[in-house]
């Protein structure tokens, strides 16, 4: 948990570094997520950080709050009138509350969420993934290229473990053959998952794999080598996040 929390703090700091110097007009810039501006990415994170803190400290209160939840688009609409400075402060405060709540947990503690309950370790990992993925939307809106870090391994692990979900959420049968993943980490070295003897393999930069499984990059634009049909079938629909099938991003023009 200590390592996960340190990496979540680092990812939070990376996003705050993007947001801090923005002018008010920059918060209205369109991101690649249809209908969402920079402000909407931040309010989305802040709202779910508050929900995460409630889930960790008051499970009964969290369950009671579910009846008022409609959709993520409704949530961002509710925050559209918030001034940027106030929105940034909300995100910082909500993230601090959630980090404080997570620090009191054991990695194996179970927390309720909008889908199945998760272990505290998985819960924190998911918040890191969400922060990184929505931070990517912000970076793309600003035209900024972020330097990847080895903490992306947490996102890669979620993406790998979500392989069955990627098929199930689309009502598709999951190929029975296993898939191995071999990724070059940003800081050097190789991260692997899956049986070494698997004939189907995904190879390439960890960054590209993470961008694909969070649907921030079209597979055709990723520097990934796919061996075997099970690997290709998976990566064409890979989805590391919960919820209905994402629209993903289209291929780059040209």
- CATH architecture of the domain formed by 152-235: 2-Layer Sandwich (3.30)
Give the pLDDT of residue 64: 86
User: What residue ranges in the chain does DSSP mark as E strands?
Assistant: 110-111, 118-119, 179-184, 190-193, 200-205, 225-227
Q: Report mean pLDDT in 10-residue bins for the chain, 254 residues.
A: 96 97 97 94 95 94 81 81 95 97 95 89 95 97 96 97 94 95 97 97 98 96 97 96 84 71
- pTM over 0.75? The answer is yes
CATH topology of domain 2-142: 1.20.120
Under 8 Å between Cβ of 90 and 78: no
The pLDDT assigned to 85 comes to 96
Task: For residue 234, give the H/E element and its range.
Answer: helix 229-235
Going from N- to C-terminal start, the domains of the chain cover 2-142, 152-235
b/e string for 233-249 if b means 16 or more Cβ within 10 A?
A: bbbebbbbbeeeebebb
Q: Which long-range contacts (CB under 8 A, 24 or more apart) does 73-81 make?
A: 73/35, 75/43, 75/44, 75/47, 76/36, 76/39, 76/40, 76/43, 76/44, 79/39, 79/40, 79/43, 79/46, 79/47, 80/39, 80/40
Q: What's the full length of the chain, in residues?
A: 254
Q: In the beta sheet, which residues pair with residue 201? A: 180, 227
pLDDT for residue 253: 62
Q: What is the DSSP letter of 30?
A: B
């Amino acid at each position: 948990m200590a390592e996960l929390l340190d990496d979540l703090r680092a990812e939070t700091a990376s996003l705050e570094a993007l947001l801090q110097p923005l002018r008010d007009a920059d918060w209205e810039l369109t991101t690649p997520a249809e209908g969402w501006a920079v402000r909407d990415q931040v309010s989305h994170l802040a709202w779910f950080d508050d929900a995460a803190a409630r889930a960790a400290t008051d499970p009964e209160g969290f369950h009671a709050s579910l009846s008022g939840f409609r959709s993520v688009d409704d949530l961002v609409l509710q925050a559209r009138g918030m001034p940027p400075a106030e929105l940034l402060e909300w995100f910082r405060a909500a993230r601090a509350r959630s980090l404080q709540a997570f620090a009191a947990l054991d990695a194996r503690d179970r927390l309720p969420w909008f889908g199945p309950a998760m272990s505290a370790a998985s819960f924190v990992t998911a918040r890191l993934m969400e922060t990184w993925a929505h931070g990517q939307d912000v970076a793309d809106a600003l035209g900024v290229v972020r330097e990847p870090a080895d903490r992306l391994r947490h996102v890669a692990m979620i993406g790998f473990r979500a392989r069955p979900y990627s098929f199930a959420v689309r009502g598709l049968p999951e190929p029975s053959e296993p898939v191995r993943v071999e990724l070059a980490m940003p800081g050097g070295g190789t991260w692997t998952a899956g049986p070494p003897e698997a004939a189907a393999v995904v190879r390439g930069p960890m960054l590209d794999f993470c961008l694909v499984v969070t649907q921030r990059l079209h597979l055709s634009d990723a520097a990934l080598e796919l061996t075997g049909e099970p690997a290709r079938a998976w990566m064409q629909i890979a989805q590391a996040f919960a919820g209905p099938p994402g629209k993903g991003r289209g291929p780059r023009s040209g």
